[in-house]
Amino acid sequence: MNQETNRGMPSVRVTFPDGATKEFPQGTTALEVAKSVGPRLAADALAAKVDGRLVDLSHRIQSDAPIQFVTPSSPEGLEIYRHSSAHLLAAAVLELFPDAHPGVGPPTETGFYYDFYREKPFTEDDLAKLEAKMQELVKADLPYERVYYNKEEGIKLFEKMGEFLKCELIQEKADPVFSAYRTGKFLDFCRGPHIPSTGRIKAVKLLSVAGAHWKGDEHSHPLQRIYGTAFFSKKDLDDFLNQIEEAKKRDHRRLGTELDLFSIQDDAGPGLIFWHPKGGIIRTEIEDWLRAELVKRGYAMVYTPHAMRLHLWEISGHTDFYRENMFGPMPVENDRYQLKPMNCPGHILIYKSRRRSYRELPMRLAELGTVYRYERSGVMHGLMRVRGFTQDDAHIFCMPEQLEAEVESCVEFAFEVLKTFGFDRYEVELSARDPNHAEHYAGTVEDWERAEGALIETLKRMKVPYKYMPGEAVFYGPKIDIKLVDAIGRPWQLTTVQFDFNLPRRFGLEYVAADGHAHTPVMVHRALLGSVERFFGVLIEHYAGAFPVWLAPVQAVVLPISEKHLTYARQVSDKLREGGIRVELDDRNEKLNARIRDAQLQKVPLMLVAGDREIERRGVSVRRRDTGDAGFQPLDAFIPWLRELIDTRAVKW
């Protein structure tokens, strides 16, 4: 209840994060509260949380409430800052290009974008002009002014402005009274919050322009999407831009062509990968290691068809929750068949093929199964986002009391994968349901609470730090996602461990328990690499194509100095090949330095020079890809050394 001040003016009591309280006149702004704490906080604050709700600093506090200020160090700080930077971009666009019609402009993990409808395409020169205008608006220190309209009034206003995209959004999403933000000449339907003014934006950069479609619908308005990024300091921005430049050097699409690893063929269609011989060698190494580990850990390898009756996907719920990502069913003899987007129904049918006893559980079925998912052309990206890919998929059928042990085993297996392939950093997320949208999920609230609890307890017992992600679960259950962090600090989503209590019920799965009665098992979906294609793309970029020796498609190249050394060079090649080493002989009529350079460009780990001295001493002069000349090595010592690197799957050598 509001207190009364000495003058009879109503007051409110705010509670700070440390538990301290303070009274202010009713209607005091969040910024005034920050100023009362100190000038440093007032200068740092970007927004506030009042009674748990994110608000602008101009928000007036009308009742007693806890308050917490959002600063650059707050989890929400950068997102709000980038959202405001997107509005700054839109304000600059309307200043320079009044024929542009703004769509939406959200923050992203790496920056922000804003979509515009405009008949004339934006150019790189336009981006430079826009960036200069944005800096002008920053110097002008324009406020992000929050204003309110009733819905009918707001639609008329935006119609008068000719902003047909905004009118559509307001019609669909606005409350009877909605908020908008004015930044210079730009007015946007937006819930906010925003930083106080454009002058608070210290480091912003426009990156590129690309095509998009309104609401992601390829049949709707074609749009132009301007990408940008913003940071709290110029140093952070420079570090990010340097990372972008490094990422360009490591781009798996460019390296895939230069190293002849894979291709995507127009004649076959987008999003379908052709593995070339060198890429196929690396894939084989990855899969052979994985299969051996699976067998060692008690998995049984299975294979299931690429297409099955659509009826299965109706039972599983995919047609209800996942239809937009499935290729349309194919008519076959008065029935309909579906290219599989998932392997799980096939594994379920194997489990269901006969009556199961509790003594058979846990049953771990694994498959390197190719699946097909419809991805729109605008989102496909090399190996990272494709339409056909192979999952290292496994499904574990177990009793409820076995669940946590199986999840723990899956997480431990994932960490072994990371270590083996040279990733020493990772992030763990626990994806839960959105309690406000129960319609997006199958199962009861009790099921979800029990499932989420099991995953949380497992991670706590393993002492694995994790980030809780509400609303990120799949429709049939919560999951643990493990993101590896690559050599230049980028996270990649690969491993997932999902708990499923829905599909066993939907398919009527049972096992006979020790009490002689039939019970329903629970199920764990588990993929470690995620997809072989995506994992391969991440490997290429992590190593910039310079793979560890055990993965390299060509592990050594033998280089005879001249034609008179060719016979010995062939003997060396044969001996290496007999030792199970992938070797090539480069006997081209080119200078030695040119052939060394070509081997370096192909990122071959070891170059072995053969000349008079090497013939005499029965060895090779070794040149390493990374450090150059490594001196003479007798073959009898060199081959066992190289063989050990391969057998131990050494990442550093």
Catalytic positions are: 344, 373, 391, 393, 395, 479, 525
Determine the Cα–Cα distance for residues 205 and 127; give it in Å rounded to an integer: 9
**Nearest alpha-carbon partner for 547 in 261, 236, 122:** 261
Cα atoms in the Cβ-side hemisphere of radius 13 Å centred on 372: 13
What one-character-per-residue DSSP string does 316-374 give?
HTHHHHSGGGSPPPEEETTEEEEE-S-SHHHHHHHHTTS--BGGG-SEEEEEEEEEE--
347 burial class (0-12, 13-18, 19+ CB within 10 angstroms)?
A: buried
**Nearest alpha-carbon partner for 530 in 572, 567, 484:** 484
Determine the Cα–Cα distance for residues 515 and 436; give it in Å rounded to an integer: 39
The token duo for 267 is: 């004649």
**Helices assigned H by DSSP within 475-561:** 503-506, 532-543
Residue carrying the six token digits 């480069």: 586
**Nearest alpha-carbon partner for 59 in 170, 163, 152, 179:** 179
Number of H helices, E strands in the chain: 20, 33
**Nearest alpha-carbon partner for 114 in 83, 160, 135:** 83
**Nearest alpha-carbon partner for 568 in 618, 605, 631:** 618
**Nearest alpha-carbon partner for 87 in 180, 212, 209:** 180
**Nearest alpha-carbon partner for 625 in 644, 590, 597, 651:** 597
Sequence-distant (≥ 6) Cβ neighbours of residue 323 within 8 angstroms: none
**Nearest alpha-carbon partner for 141 in 202, 199, 201, 204:** 199
Determine the Cα–Cα distance for residues 34 and 264; give it in Å rounded to an integer: 56
Amino acid at 523: M
Compute CA distances 439 → 4, 321, 498, whole Å. 46, 10, 19
Q: Which helix (H) or strand (E) holds 408?
A: helix 403-420
Helix (H, G, I), strand (E, B) or coil at 520: coil
Q: Is 606 left (phi over 0), alpha (psi -120 to 50) or beta?
A: beta
Q: Answer yes or no: are the C-beta atoms of 388 and 272 closer than 8 Å.
A: yes
Pairing of strands 262-264, 467-470: unpaired
Q: Answer yes or no: are the C-beta atoms of 507 and 352 closer than 8 Å.
A: yes
Determine the Cα–Cα distance for residues 94 and 229; give it in Å rounded to an integer: 19
Residue carrying the six token digits 């910039």: 544
